Structure 1
Amino acid sequence: MREIFAGLPWWVKWVAVPVIALVVFGGLIASVVHFVIYLLFKLLICVALVGGLIYIVRKFMASSRSDW
């Protein structure tokens, strides 16, 4: 791979090739990033709901024990 880029100017290696890659694979990259953010958001909601449920159940169990 180094031989291919050996005689080319710096701007081809560091500007043109990444821009072409972003144009070609930009949609794929955006889809992957969107999917990862979607999964993280769903995971955060799941953790918040489970944590809230545990908090409510413990609060209810503590108040029902004091009534005995």
Structure 2
Amino acid sequence: MGEIFGGLPWWVKWIAVPVIALVVFGGLIASVVGLIIGLLFKVLVFVALVGGLIYVVRKFTSSSSSRSDW
């Protein structure tokens, strides 16, 4: 790889090649990032809903058992 970029200016390696890669693979990169963010959001919503359900169930079961103690 070093021989390919050996005689080229620095801006070709660090500016032109990444820009070309983004133009060519930009849609694919955006799709993958969108998919990952979507999955993380769904996992976060799932964890929040399960945590809320556990909280509500424990709240009601503890309050109903304390009522029977009266």
Q: Where does structure 2 lack aligned partners over 5 or more consecutive residues? A: none
The whole-number CA distance in structure 2 between the counterparts of 1:22 and 1:62 is 56
Aligned to 1:38: 38
Q: Where does structure 1 lack aligned partners over 5 or more consecutive residues? A: none
Aligned to 1:29: 29
Paired residues in the alignment total 68
- Tell me which stretches of 4 or more aligned residues in structure 1 moved more than 4 Å: none
The whole-number CA distance in structure 2 between the counterparts of 1:67 and 1:11 is 75
Question: For 1:2-60, what per-residue CA distance to the aligned partner results, in whole angstroms no more than 9, with x for missing partners?
Answer: 10000000010000000000000000000000000000000010000000000000000
Instruction: Supply the RMSD in Å over aligned alpha carbons.
Output: 0.4
Is 1:9 aligned to residue 18 of structure 2? Answer: no
SS in 2 for 1:8: coil
TM score, norm. by length of structure 2: 0.95
The whole-number CA distance in structure 2 between the counterparts of 1:64 and 1:35 is 43
The whole-number CA distance in structure 2 between the counterparts of 1:4 and 1:67 is 79
Write the letter of the residue equivalent to 2:26: G
TM score, norm. by length of structure 1: 0.98
